[in-house]
A = this chain, B = another copy of it.
Amino acid sequence: MSKPLNIGMIGYGFMGRAHSNGYRRVGNFFDLAYHPVLKAVCARDAAKAKDFADRWGYESIETDWRKLVERKDIDAVDICVPNNLHKEISIACANAGKMVLCEKPLSMNVAEGEEMCEAVEKAGVPNMVWYNYRRVPAVTLAKKLIEEGRLGRIFHYRALFLQDWTISTDLPQGGQGLWRLDAAASGSGVTGDLLAHCIDTAIWLNGTIDTVSAMTETFVKERTHNLTGKVEKVGIDDACAFLARFKNGSLATFESTRYARGHKALYTFEINGEKASIKWDLHDLHRLEYFDHRDEGKLRGWRSIHVTDNGGEHPYMDKWWVPGLQIGYEHSFVHQVADFLDGLGKGVPAEPTFRSALETQKVCDAVLASAASGAWVNV
């Protein structure tokens, strides 16, 4: 019989919804040792917390996250608040003996992240960071292909994360929904928000990043701040691009921006190996592009693999519908919940743990340092 795992959710925004959906759906599709019970949601505004609880089926609400963390009936806390609160809440959870599931990026910087790692490790509580794209089936398949050695020696890695939602100078910064534009709440702009995803995937697929050379730009220098009502200097990076060298000898380019007209969430990566190459694109996330040099010469071509075949070996897809029918963005969170619960049952940590996610934080810090100094920076 499946055991209950009582969840306490802090936050109710975009990620609060995505995670809640993951908890509610996982049991309909996966057979696991644990099933999530939505025990409580916490938000400073009681009315908003109540609305969210009603919609998603949380049994109770809290308006102070410290109260939630102290509750005896909570096993695991899910942190879906701005980055500047990750450290304090995570450490409180660890100290209270709660499991912690923290939205990415782990922290505002490496120093904070290191403290967080130490706290959860000292407390011995299961912990995980929501780098959800690892669980898109096409991305998981890419990982599998690399582990099977199909690509051979890797020469190149390139990743983009392109959006266009902050081009308007009228957009304010700060507060509900817009804290990602406020450096005090977010720590950085596209580096922590978008490139962190690219970096997490890259390290997972291609190993350690050794050194980087970066540039950043803030195209719109001032925006009205929602919390002060005044026009204030924008402190985040609107765009960031960097060169990198991996430990395995491969070269990389990474770029992210919120000023790429025509792209809403175009996260793409491509890996070129001696024997084969792969490409993926979040805008068509159910496809993996694959080129295998070992194919017969006249028939070589990029294969567009529709990763929906539950008769085959496509990761996670045997849980869903029938071949040819695609799943979407939200399923990556269902898969991450499933893997977390499965790991709990087996006593194996679900990746990325805080410690694993700290590696991404190190690269982010190096990137921002390089952009500031103009020099190559070792991670």
B-binding residues in A (CB < 8 A): 14, 17-18, 20-21, 24-25, 27-28, 55-56, 141, 144-145, 155-156, 158, 160, 162-165, 167, 213-215, 217, 219, 239, 241-243, 245, 249, 251, 253, 255, 257, 259-266, 272-277, 282-288, 290-293, 295, 297-306, 308-309, 311-314, 320-331, 374-376
Q: Which residues of the partner chain B approach A325 to less than 8 Å between Cβ atoms?
A: 264-265, 282, 328-330
The CA of A329 and the CA of B265, in the complex, are separated in Å by 20
Asked if A300 contacts B321 (CB within 8 A), the reply is no
A304-B304 contact given A260-B155, A322-B265, CB 8 Å threshold: yes
In the complex, given contacts A164-B272, A167-B274, A262-B277, what are 17 additional A-B residue pairs having Cβ atoms less than 8 angstroms apart? A17-B321, A25-B25, A215-B251, A260-B272, A261-B274, A261-B293, A265-B323, A286-B328, A295-B303, A298-B313, A302-B303, A325-B328, A325-B330, A326-B328, A326-B329, A374-B375, A374-B376
Q: Which residues of the partner chain B approach A324 to less than 8 Å between Cβ atoms?
A: 163, 263-266, 282-283
Q: Which residues of the partner chain B approach A264 to less than 8 Å between Cβ atoms?
A: 306, 308-309, 322-325
A160, closest chain B residue (CB) = B158
Asked if B155 contacts A219 (CB within 8 A), the reply is yes
Could you give 14 example pairs across A and B, Cβ below 8 Å?
Answer: A18-B321, A24-B24, A144-B298, A155-B167, A156-B259, A156-B260, A260-B277, A261-B274, A262-B302, A285-B326, A298-B305, A303-B303, A326-B329, A327-B328
The CA of A137 and the CA of B213, in the complex, are separated in Å by 36
Asked if A301 contacts B299 (CB within 8 A), the reply is no
A329, closest chain B residue (CB) = B325
Distance in Å: Cβ of A99 to nearest Cβ of chain B: 24
Asked if B24 contacts A28 (CB within 8 A), the reply is yes
Distance in Å: Cβ of A224 to nearest Cβ of chain B: 19
